């Protein structure tokens, strides 16, 4: 029987790795690809579906357009991995054996045990979530007036929070909907731990879109009607009444891999991987948001689409190398810059080959579109990328 390679997840990491494996192995091993969805989701543009649900067809690419016919695809939710038996367990009770496993199941939203947060907030990790945010904002706006607007609060001002707030503003303006938007961030600035010039440019654009920003206090509790921000023994928290609350304040590992016997971060359950993507089990590789991929002492790769996409190419090649008994390649993340949308507007920072630190306007908007279009062309086809261009 030929070598069995199993890849879990159809995000950037899984999809990129599948394509590299297919070109590397060319029949040398059997490839099985498992994901809960039969499409590859361009997750870094999924927020577009909040303002415009029809964008769904542009960002969800059917798996058959992505993989070669020789790769077997199994649409199923993974419920566990047994590294001793070398099997992947599925939610229908079945299992798949592997010789080499590549884990790329992304991340889950982190709620940090904050009282009421998980129960009362919406998250944004996929198409269903974007649909639900759209519907909840539309419903809240319908029952509101300009003198008593609905309140949509976004918790967390990272890449997903900023872009979510921007799309709610886009919806509000397109539909003339009476919605107030508040962006709450526990740290001192939007897009924390980033370039101050980029933070300033984003803040200006968010405020220009009428988004109120509250930085410097963490959400401490949530109930059905109110978000409590900050507060302590001697100080009462600020109370924010809300109609819709979207929480994007952090990521953690997927619970389905929490019990598998691999070295993981105790708090988040994200899998420790070397810079060649090998885990504590030499038959298992991990990458993308699922993993903490080492990048030198005390450094790990960032949880971004850009990093997952770059990593996938080397991880796919390394699985092929492991099969052949060849030395593995190490990977170093190459930050090619950041482009963040605020509705139709965008801000770019540190872009490779451009000698301006931060820029916005048409060049940044075009760059944001080009990044999404290039990924879609790479994984699927040029015609699909052209079709998606107007919506990115």
Ligand X SMILES: Cc1cc2nc3c(=O)[nH]c(=O)nc-3n(C[C@H](O)[C@H](O)[C@H](O)COP(=O)(O)OP(=O)(O)OC[C@H]3O[C@@H](n4cnc5c(N)ncnc54)[C@H](O)[C@@H]3O)c2cc1C
Single residue of 18, 19, 29, 47 touching ligand X by CB under 6 A: 47
Q: Is residue 19 near ligand X by the rule CB under 6 A?
A: no
What tokens appear for 172 in the block?
A: 């509000």
* Rounded Cα gap, residues 162 and 342, in angstroms: 7
Residue number, 8 or 61, with CB nearest to ligand X? 8
Single residue of 109, 279, 306, 310 touching ligand X by CB under 6 A: 306
Q: Is residue 87 near ligand X by the rule CB under 6 A?
A: no
Q: Is residue 13 near ligand X by the rule CB under 6 A?
A: yes
Contact string 129-148 vs ligand X (x = CB under 6 A)? --------------------
Residue number of the CB closest to ligand X reads 11
Q: Is residue 11 near ligand X by the rule CB under 6 A?
A: yes
What tokens appear for 216 in the block?
A: 């410097």
Long-range contacts formed by 355-358: CB under 8 A, 24+ apart: 357/195, 357/197, 357/198, 358/195, 358/197, 358/198, 358/201
Single residue of 81, 106, 151, 385 touching ligand X by CB under 6 A: 106
Q: Is residue 305 near ligand X by the rule CB under 6 A?
A: yes
Q: Is residue 105 near ligand X by the rule CB under 6 A?
A: yes
Task: Give Cα separations from 96 to 4, 64, 99, 279 (angstroms).
Answer: 10, 21, 10, 20
Least Cβ distance, residue 209 to ligand X (angstroms): 17
Least Cβ distance, residue 241 to ligand X (angstroms): 25
Closest CA to 385 of 47, 58, 28: 58
Q: Is residue 71 near ligand X by the rule CB under 6 A?
A: no
Q: Is residue 7 near ligand X by the rule CB under 6 A?
A: no
Residue number, 40 or 172, with CB nearest to ligand X? 40
* Rounded Cα gap, residues 107 and 251, in angstroms: 6
Least Cβ distance, residue 302 to ligand X (angstroms): 8
Instruction: Output the CA torsion 228→231→237→243 (10° steps).
Output: -10
Least Cβ distance, residue 225 to ligand X (angstroms): 26
Contact string 152-191 vs ligand X (x = CB under 6 A)? -------xx--x----------------------------
What burial letters (b/e) apply to 371-387, b meaning 16+ CB within 10 Å? bbbebbeebbeeebbee
182, 214 in Cβ contact below 8 A?
yes
Q: Is residue 254 near ligand X by the rule CB under 6 A?
A: yes
* Rounded Cα gap, residues 258 and 379, in angstroms: 30
Task: Give Cα separations from 132 to 47, 50, 126, 137, 300 (angstroms).
Answer: 12, 8, 10, 8, 33
Structure-token match 């984003």, residue found: 202
Q: List contacts with ligand X (CB under 6 A).
A: 8-14, 34-37, 43-44, 46-47, 77-78, 104-106, 124-125, 159-160, 163, 254, 256, 288-290, 303-306, 308
């Amino acid at each position: 029987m030929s070598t069995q390679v199993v890849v879990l997840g159809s995000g950037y990491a899984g999809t990129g790795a599948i394509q590299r494996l297919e070109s590397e192995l060319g029949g040398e091993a059997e490839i099985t690809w498992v994901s809960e969805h039969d499409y590859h989701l361009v997750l870094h543009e999924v927020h577009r579906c909040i303002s415009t649900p029809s964008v769904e067809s542009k960002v969800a690419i059917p798996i058959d357009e992505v993989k070669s016919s020789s790769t077997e695809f199994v649409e199923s939710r993974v419920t566990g991995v047994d590294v001793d038996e070398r099997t992947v367990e599925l939610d229908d009770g079945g299992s798949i054996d592997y010789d080499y496993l590549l884990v790329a199941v992304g991340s889950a939203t982190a709620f940090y045990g904050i009282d009421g947060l998980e129960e009362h907030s919406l998250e944004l990790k996929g198409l269903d979530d974007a649909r639900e945010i759209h519907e909840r904002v539309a419903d809240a706006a319908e029952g509101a007036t300009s003198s008593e607007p609905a309140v949509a609060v976004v918790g967390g001002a990272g890449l997903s929070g900023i872009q979510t707030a921007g799309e709610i503003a886009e919806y509000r303006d397109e539909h003339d909907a009476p919605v107030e938007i508040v962006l709450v961030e526990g740290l001192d600035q939007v897009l924390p731990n980033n370039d101050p010039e980029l933070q300033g440019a984003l803040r200006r654009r968010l405020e220009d879109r009428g988004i109120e920003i509250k930085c410097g206090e963490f959400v401490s509790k949530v109930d059905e009607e109110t978000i409590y921000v900050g507060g302590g023994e001697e100080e009462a928290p600020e109370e924010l009444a809300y109609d819709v609350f979207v929480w994007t304040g952090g990521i953690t590992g997927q619970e389905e891999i929490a019990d598998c016997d691999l070295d993981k971060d105790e708090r988040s359950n994200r899998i420790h991987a070397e810079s060649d993507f090998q885990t504590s089990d030499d038959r298992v590789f991990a990458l993308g948001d699922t993993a903490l991929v080492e990048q030198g002492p005390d450094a790990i790769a960032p949880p971004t689409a850009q990093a997952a996409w770059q990593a996938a190419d080397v991880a796919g090649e390394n699985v092929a190398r492991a099969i052949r008994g060849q030395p593995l390649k190490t990977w170093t993340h190459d930050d090619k810059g950041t482009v963040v949308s605020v509705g139709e507007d965008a801000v770019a920072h540190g872009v490779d080959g451009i000698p301006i630190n931060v820029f916005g306007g048409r060049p940044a908007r075009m760059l944001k579109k080009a990044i999404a279009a290039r990924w879609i062309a790479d994984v699927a086809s040029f015609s699909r990328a052209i079709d998606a261009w107007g919506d990115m």
